[in-house]
Amino acid sequence: MTLAPGAGQPSRMKLLVVGSGGREHALAWKLKQSPLVREVLAAPGNPGIAEIGRCVAVKAEDVDGLVALAKAEGVGLVVVGPEAALAAGLADALAAAGIACFGPSKAAAELEASKAFTKDFCQRHGIPTAAYRVFDDAVTAKAYLGEREAPFVVKADGLAAGKGVIIAQTRREADAAVDEILFLKKFGSAGQRIVIEEFLPGEEASFFALCDGETAVAFGAAQDHKRAYDGDKGPNTGGMGAYSPAPIVTPAIERQVMEEIILPTVRGLAAEGRPFRGVLFAGLMISPNGPKLIEFNVRFGDPECQTLMRRLTSDLAPLLLACAEGRLSAADAPTFGPGPCATIVMAAQGYPDTPLTGSVIRGVKEAAAAPGVAVFHAGTRADDDGALRAAGGRVLNVTATGPTLAEAVDRAYAGVDRIDWPGGFCRRDIGWRALSA
């Protein structure tokens, strides 16, 4: 379906958002505001999305089911949240059915699905990243560790839900990490091979670019908080909170990232016959020697996406459609409001190891009514008794915008404090790095 905004009355279309987290709620929330969108469907969605769109019980990894749904509903654009369906070929199957998809093909999704592929790709195209070697054998891997100095960075090659990275301070820990990945299969089949790489010092940022297969435009940056508890302590998680913009990503750094990392990647993938359509998420280390790539993801970050959606002033639907249809250079560049946004993740007690689900959550409406606040659902379920209950690890995202980051953070916590949920917890120091700078 091609839309010609401005050319008479453009037909309004149905969109399908794939996924069920806070990222997908934020995407659905933003897309629903588009004058081009008639209805937002979500598969499988969540109770928050159900308030603004129609949720259909098809799983986010069920490629055949999603294609059948998009066909049956006459969907004009599928917007894919999580990487699993992309790695399984959802974009390819939709393309075969003639349905526009925001999200890369299986071949382009290798950028996230295989660290070894990405490291080799970066080397071929001169993209700045940590020096590395790939191993499938523990003896050679350990011999290589013997030639290097701490800290050691040991990674499982494949998709490991963001957990397949061990930063070891001693040789002993590094050797143990090699054994855990290759022999004990701590990360399952993601650990057939391991990558050992140079430790990069610096500050991390999440950088986003929209891509249409040939070109790319910057789409903002954010900073996440990966550890579970205050003070960056505790186990690694999918992300406990984020803010955007990221002060460390200055306009000069943004230009450098586009020129040295994003555009060479998009052109390199096109030249290798794997054009990338969707959002490229570069996990960066802003080192004293400039930005370096830690990893690519082929989707929006969660919870970074929530902060971007709150700040975006452009209509999202035509931008995503332009990516899917290879027309990005003709589209208006995305614009963001000047006010920062902070997102606080509320997680179920026990997250990330064994989150306790089923606890009752009250006060979400009250929180959403607080100044500057919007609440996105990440892992909730609405039961027949009318109660909202925790149904996942990360459960709610309380977002707020404000004139300054400090005010955005205060507003977000004011929202959090209206939520009555003894079964949950959150970090109380989201934004500390930017606020203390």
Cα-Cα-Cα-Cα dihedral sign, residues 16, 22, 300, 3: positive
Task: With beta carbons less than 8 A apart as the criterion, state whether 219 and 226 touch.
Answer: no
Cis bond before residue 355 (omega within 30° of 0): no
Which segments of 201-277 does DSSP mark as H helices, in order?
A: 251-257, 263-271
Q: Which of 47/239 has CB closer to ligand GLY?
A: 239
Residues between 314 and 353 with contacts to ligand AMP, criterion CB under 6 A? none
Does 130 contact ligand AMP by CB under 6 A? yes
Place of tokens 């929006």: 300
Q: For the window 309-348, what string marks contact with ligand GLY as x by the rule CB under 6 A?
A: ----------------------------------------
Tokens of 53: 């769109």
Does 295 contact ligand AMP by CB under 6 A? yes
Does 294 contact ligand AMP by CB under 6 A? yes
Tokens of 235: 């186990």
Q: Which of 204/407 has CB closer to ligand AMP?
A: 204
What totals of helices (H) and strands (E) does the chain contain, helices first? 16, 23
Q: Segment contacting ligand GLY (CB under 6 A): 74-82, 94-102, 260-268, 296-304?
A: 296-304
Measured CA to CA in angstroms, residue 131 lies from 136, 195, 200, 330 at distances of: 17, 10, 9, 37
Q: Segment contacting ligand GLY (CB under 6 A): 89-97, 98-106, 295-303, 404-412?
A: 295-303
Q: Which does 153 bind (CB under 5 to 8 A by kind): ligand GLY, ligand AMP, none?
A: ligand AMP
Neighbours of 183 (CB within 10 A): 10
Tokens of 33: 């505001």
Residues between 206 and 245 with contacts to ligand GLY, criterion CB under 6 A? 224, 238-239
Q: Segment contacting ligand GLY (CB under 6 A): 10-18, 135-143, 193-201, 299-307?
A: 299-307
Among 18, 66, 67, 153, binds ligand AMP (CB under 6 A): 153
Q: Which does 295 bind (CB under 5 to 8 A by kind): ligand GLY, ligand AMP, none?
A: ligand AMP
The residue length of the chain stands at 437
Does 304 contact ligand GLY by CB under 6 A? yes
d(CA 294, CA 195): 12
Q: Which does 429 bind (CB under 5 to 8 A by kind): ligand AMP, ligand GLY, none?
A: none
Stretch (H or E) spanning 411 = helix 405-416
Q: How far is the CB of 297 from ligand GLY (least distance, A)?
A: 6
Q: How far is the CB of 163 from ligand AMP (least distance, A)?
A: 8
What DSSP assignment string belongs to 18-30? Answer: EE-SHHHHHHHHH
Q: How far is the CB of 167 from ligand AMP (least distance, A)?
A: 6
Q: Which of 117/144 has CB closer to ligand GLY?
A: 117
d(CA 368, CA 360): 17
Residues between 86 and 115 with contacts to ligand AMP, criterion CB under 6 A? none
Q: For the window 194-223, what string marks contact with ligand AMP as x by the rule CB under 6 A?
A: ---xxxx---x-------------------
Q: Which of 157/304 has CB closer to ligand GLY?
A: 304
Q: Segment contacting ligand AMP (CB under 6 A): 80-88, 161-169, 239-247, 370-378?
A: 161-169
Does 301 contact ligand GLY by CB under 6 A? yes
Among 20, 34, 297, 357, binds ligand GLY (CB under 6 A): 297
Q: Segment contacting ligand AMP (CB under 6 A): 192-200, 348-356, 377-385, 416-424?
A: 192-200
Q: How far is the CB of 221 from ligand GLY (least distance, A)?
A: 13
d(CA 341, CA 32): 20
Q: Segment contacting ligand GLY (CB under 6 A): 95-103, 300-308, 316-324, 415-423?
A: 300-308
Cis bond before residue 303 (omega within 30° of 0): yes
What DSSP assignment string belongs to 35-92? Answer: TTEEEEEEEE--HHHHTTSEE----TT-HHHHHHHHHHHT-SEEEE-SHHHHHTTHHH
What is the crossing angle of helices 22-32 and 304-311, to 10°? Answer: 20
Q: Which residues contact 342 (CB under 8 A, 6 or more apart)?
A: 241, 242, 243, 307, 399, 400, 402, 405, 408, 409, 411, 412, 430, 431
Q: How far is the CB of 223 from ligand GLY (least distance, A)?
A: 10
Q: Which residues contact 242 (CB under 8 A, 6 or more apart)?
A: 206, 222, 223, 224, 225, 301, 303, 304, 306, 307, 342, 343, 430
Q: Segment contacting ligand GLY (CB under 6 A): 91-99, 294-302, 335-343, 420-428?
A: 294-302
Task: With beta carbons less than 8 A apart as the criterion, state whether 88 and 95 touch.
Answer: no
Q: Which of 46/237 has CB closer to ligand AMP?
A: 237
DSSP 416: H
Contact positions vs ligand GLY (CB under 6 A): 162, 224, 238-239, 297, 301-302, 304
